[in-house]
Amino acid sequence: MQTKIAVRGGNPLLGNVRISGAKNAAACILPATILAAGKCTIENVPAISDVTYTLRILESLGAKVRLLDKNTLEIDTAPLHGHTVTHDLTRHMRASYYFLGALLGRFGQARVAMPGGCNLGVRPIDLHEKAFAMLGATVDTEENAIISCSAEKLVGTQIYFDVVSVGATANAMLAAVRADGRTQIENAAKEPHIVDLANFLNAMGANIRGAGTDTIRVDGVPQLHGCTWSVVPDQIEAGTYMVAAAATGGNVLVENVTPKHLESISAKLRESGALVEEYDDAVRVIGHSRPHKCSVKTMPHPGFPTDMQPQMAVLLSVATGTSYITESIFDNRFRWVDQLARMGAVVKVDGKMAVVEGVESLMGAPVQADDLRAGAAMLIAGLMALGQTEIEHIEYIERGYENVVEKFKALGADIFYLQDADEDAVLLAG
Ligand code: EPZ
């Protein structure tokens, strides 16, 4: 049996939705608790499978994890004894690479198998390894794709990233917080979760300045202590519901957000004809007529986020006119195109650009989630389409969206889980 998500399209989304803590902030903050060698209480943690995988790795290293409620964790890393994370634990997600920086920063050694995660093309971690080496670590690749890092002592230095990398920026901070002296990270990523990580580390006693700009200064400290922290709201989850509201001609108040983090998404939605009103910790999105065509180019924050590219493309697939979407971060993030074509979309991919010719409407069809955000995009397509859409491989979606069916249902969507006999299994059973 496999579980799918089924959506019957045509209902405008109406009402309020509360955004959860950011997946990509929790992804680096939870491993960062290793640096505290004490107890941390982390609030507003999204209940998603990437968090489950991360906690499994922490426990495998000897940390004590207590669930105080669905979204609040107490993590005690004082009893931590291991510094090896094997493939069976790292294969589920890309963010397992943060255990390299955290273990190296705490113990001066780390052995972590290459990460898994969404297939968005080649996703090397050479910039992470470069940062560790520049801080004085010896970095090797052992058998079973284990990356090993070891350092007698980590010494602050100047690190310049040729490519803006969220993961490498965060990992460099994790390894540098207890190094001797100052580390200056140049051409750093500025995503909200980079700022959230820096603020969390400072709450643990680190000395980090400049997060959110392209130069981050880390002055090493000898010891870090536990603290209590609340994870920043997820700007990509928020953007997904904003686009869904516009795409269904709805009227939705998206709550528990930081509007500043959503500026590029709000701007593109306004350009496509939606109304976006900003409040202190909420935005309202009102979609009315058919969206207007517009061009999108994904860029590092504060540019338009690559993690919103598939969702925006689905909105524009029914726009008046032709839209041009340029993916400048990853080299294969158009895997949603084939699935959307099954619903009647007309999209041509030419290298880093997808040319989206607006059609009148989409039609429901059986589709699959090829990665986390492509899966979210298929959900939005189903909400817009005439008829029923059934989405397979929903485990991708559940990696990054807490209570996604319940949240959409509360907004009036006709959406439900579908238990489906696995046809192949039935055939094989004869
Ligand atoms: C993080 O991935 C996010 N994942 C991704 O979110 C997000 O799409 C991406 O940042 C960009 O914002 C997590 O935070 C767990 P990068 P990451 O390093 O760190 C190249 C989602 O949907 N690069 O910023 O892997 C890389 O190939 C996921 O939530 C190197 O060349 O992204 C890419 O082209 C998907 N060498 C570019 O840099 C390296 O060592 C940006 O990647 C590292 C990256």
- Write out pLDDT tens, residues 131-157: 999 999 999 999 888 899 999 999 999
Residue 165 Cα to ligand 1 midpoint, Å, equals 6
The answer to whether the CB of 330 is under 6 A from ligand 1 is yes
Residue 130 Cα to ligand 1 midpoint, Å, equals 16
Tell me: do 182 and 58 sit in the same domain: yes
Tell me: do 281 and 365 sit in the same domain: yes
Per the structure, the count of domains in the chain is 2
pLDDT at 410: 98
pLDDT at 424: 58
Q: Say how far residue 339 (Cα) sits from the centre of its chain.
A: 21
Tell me: do 128 and 195 sit in the same domain: yes
Tell me: do 268 and 409 sit in the same domain: yes
Residue 399 Cα to ligand 1 midpoint, Å, equals 16
Q: What does the alpha-carbon distance between residue 422 and residue 430 come to, in Å, rounded to a whole number? A: 13
pLDDT at 108: 96
pLDDT at 144: 83
Q: Which domain holds residue 29?
A: 23-220
The answer to whether the CB of 304 is under 6 A from ligand 1 is no
Residue 168 Cα to ligand 1 midpoint, Å, equals 8
Regarding pTM above 0.85, the answer is yes
Consecutive sets of 10 residues in the chain, 430 residues long: mean pLDDT of each? 92 98 98 95 97 97 97 97 91 92 97 86 90 98 91 97 98 98 98 98 98 98 97 98 98 98 98 98 94 97 98 98 97 95 98 97 97 97 97 95 98 94 56
Tell me: do 153 and 251 sit in the same domain: no
pLDDT at 20: 98
Indicate if 40 belongs to the active site.
Answer: no
The answer to whether the CB of 285 is under 6 A from ligand 1 is no
pLDDT at 82: 87
In DSSP terms, 141 is beta-bridged to 147
The answer to whether the CB of 270 is under 6 A from ligand 1 is no
Tell me: do 14 and 32 sit in the same domain: no
CATH number at residue 316: 3.65.10.10
Can you tell me which atom of ligand 1 is nearest the CA of 125? 40
Report the b/e string of 292-315 with b at 16+ CB within 10 A. ebbebebebbebbbbbbbbbbbbb
Q: Is 33 within 8 Å of 205 (Cβ atoms)? A: no
Tell me: do 204 and 289 sit in the same domain: no
pLDDT at 429: 54
pLDDT at 83: 94
The answer to whether the CB of 168 is under 6 A from ligand 1 is yes
Q: Is 6 within 8 Å of 389 (Cβ atoms)? A: yes
The answer to whether the CB of 128 is under 6 A from ligand 1 is yes
Tell me: do 373 and 251 sit in the same domain: yes
Catalytic choice (118, 149, 227, 294): 118
Residue 288 Cα to ligand 1 midpoint, Å, equals 34
pLDDT at 420: 77
Tell me: do 204 and 260 sit in the same domain: no
User: What percentage of residues in the chain have a pLDDT greater than 90?
Assistant: 90
